Amino acid sequence: MSFISPTYALFLLSVILLYWLVQSIWLRLWVLLAASIVFYTTQQPYYVPLLVASTWINYQLGRAIALPADWRDDNWPVAERGWQRRRWFLLWLGIGLNLLLLLGFKYVPFLATVLADLLGWEALPQQVTRLNILVPLGISFFSFECIAYLIDVYRGSPASQEFLRFSAYKLFFPKLINGPITRYAPLISQMQGQQLAMGDRLAEGLWLLAWGATKKGLLADNLATPVNLIFENAIRAGSGDLWLATIAYGFQIYLDFSGYVDMARGSALLLGFELPLNFDFPYFSTSIADFWRRWHITLGDWLRNYLYFPLGGSRQGLARTCLNLLIVMAIAGAWHGAAWGFIVWGLLHGLGLAVHRLTDALSQRLVWLRAFWQSPPGVILAWVLTQVVVFSTWVFFRLPNLNDSLLVVRRLGGQTADAQFGQKVYVESLGFSPFQLGVLLWALAVWMGATYTFERVLKLQLRWYVKLLLVPVCLYGVWILAPEGALPYIYFDF
């Protein structure tokens, strides 16, 4: 059941009506849980028992970690040490089980191949890589949310004492497959004093659904066609073609993923919940650090709170800070997929973060350098450098097989296209020229710039009734202009 489908529209409408018809929180929780199970069943019914079982295990572990110490023991220092050891053991048991679930489904063939290459085993990878393991949708988001919940409980946040509440949160269908990564307490606490979405809240929810559908169906899916054609024929493409595909993919993945999140947030808003913002104009960042504060915000928050800070953050000197950044971003790359390309992508972003940290430290010592980065030419240069790094590294994300991605990287400069490439790709398949594709990408960049200017610089927002009027216009545009056969969301693979 895709977000962009009449089936989902009927499903969401039914859930909204049923949810607001019942009055008690207990019944509403049951509605959410049942709806979430039905939603996932339409995707992968055979993995529903696995997700429910994993949810129950994490719920029980959270309760066990939150159990207080027995202060009746006269030797309370010993009792406290035993209590802390038990909580520590349960925390790492939970983290281990969630990582085992993630590794077992997502990384077994890849890790087996790496291990076999290191040890010189030839038969093992052939046997393991032939395993056709279908990865559960949303397993990466699911596991990271569970780990965050257990760590929060260990740090002192209250654990859920009702499995119904915890499972309704954990399996909440708008965020279940592609996030955003959401914490338990902020989401479930919103059930208190909920009111039916009306007026501006209703308009905002519908607008997010329509605008998210426009981003995904009308823009991202149409960009996918030239991106796929050019990258699939990369060995025959010229440097200009590959740059066009790289830039187009940068726009595609942003529109695809942010479109999903918009629709998830719109669905949740109509049910009385506000999911966290996950994108904040990331392509207007002036540093890689700024980019990660704007791109996939909830993942960046997870990486900072549950990896970067426990590793020591920036408290142990500049060299250790840079090392921590590389480690965290390598893990972030691996989280996206079991391929070297994702790890290289993460390491390159980690290197960019380390260079930014070194530059920032140098700027603190040199007044003229700090003044330059704060001046208009410095800001423009910082923006250009950031976008070059961000867009060029998307090659490894789009082509996680290093043979493919390195081929493209080598051909990004001074390469002439094959004589038949333009005819086959642009004339026969796409029906427009490279110049027209460039104009389209330029128009998208101008539209993003105008939106950023209105919303962030001028602080202007559309009135709720204007958004409500635009909803049918957007949906009609998607219906007429979206390519036939809705493409799966890019992040469904992660």
pLDDT in tens, 347-400: 999 999 999 999 999 998 989 999 999 999 999 999 999 999 999 999 999 999
Mean pLDDT of 486-491: 77
pLDDT value of position 218:
92
Q: How far apart are CA 92 and CA 83, in angstroms?
A: 14
Question: Measured over all CA atoms, what is the biggest interatomic distance in the chain, rounded to whole angstroms?
Answer: 86
pLDDT value of position 393:
96
Torsions phi, psi of 237, nearest 5? -85, 155
Q: Which tops the pLDDT comparison, 138 or 108?
A: 138
CB atoms near residue 483 (< 10 Å): 12
Torsions phi, psi of 309, nearest 5? -65, -45
pLDDT value of position 73:
56
Average pLDDT, the chain: 89
pLDDT in tens, 69-99: 765 655 667 777 877 889 999 999 999 999 9
pLDDT in tens, 422-459: 888 888 888 888 899 999 999 999 999 999 999 888 88
pLDDT at 193 over 80: no
Query: Where are the chain's structural domains?
Result: 12-194, 200-279+412-493, 282-398
Catalytic annotation present for 296 = no
Beta carbons of 178 and 258 less than 8 angstroms apart: no
| DSSP result, 86-132 | HHHHHHHHHHHHHHHHHHHHHTHHHHHHHHHHHHT-SHHHHHHHT--
Share of the chain above pLDDT 70, in %: 94
pLDDT value of position 419:
79
Dihedral angle over CA of 216, 208, 332, 186, nearest 10: -160
pLDDT value of position 121:
62
Dihedral angle over CA of 69, 72, 78, 82, nearest 10: -30
Element (H, E) at 264: helix 239-270
pLDDT value of position 123:
56
pLDDT in tens, 38-59: 999 998 899 999 999 999 999 9
Mean pLDDT of 128-140: 71
pLDDT at 475 over 60: yes
Q: How far apart are CA 94 and CA 84, in angstroms?
A: 15
pLDDT at 131 over 90: no
Which of 204-213, 297-306, 413-422 is predicted with the least confidence, judged by mean pLDDT?
Answer: 413-422
pLDDT in tens, 300-356: 999 999 999 999 888 888 999 999 999 999 999 999 888 899 999 999 999 999 999
pLDDT at 254 over 60: yes
Mean pLDDT of 226-251: 93
Residue type, 6: P
Q: Which tops the pLDDT comparison, 4 or 128?
A: 4
Active-site residue, selected from the candidate residues 296, 336, 349, 356: 336
pTM higher than 0.85: yes
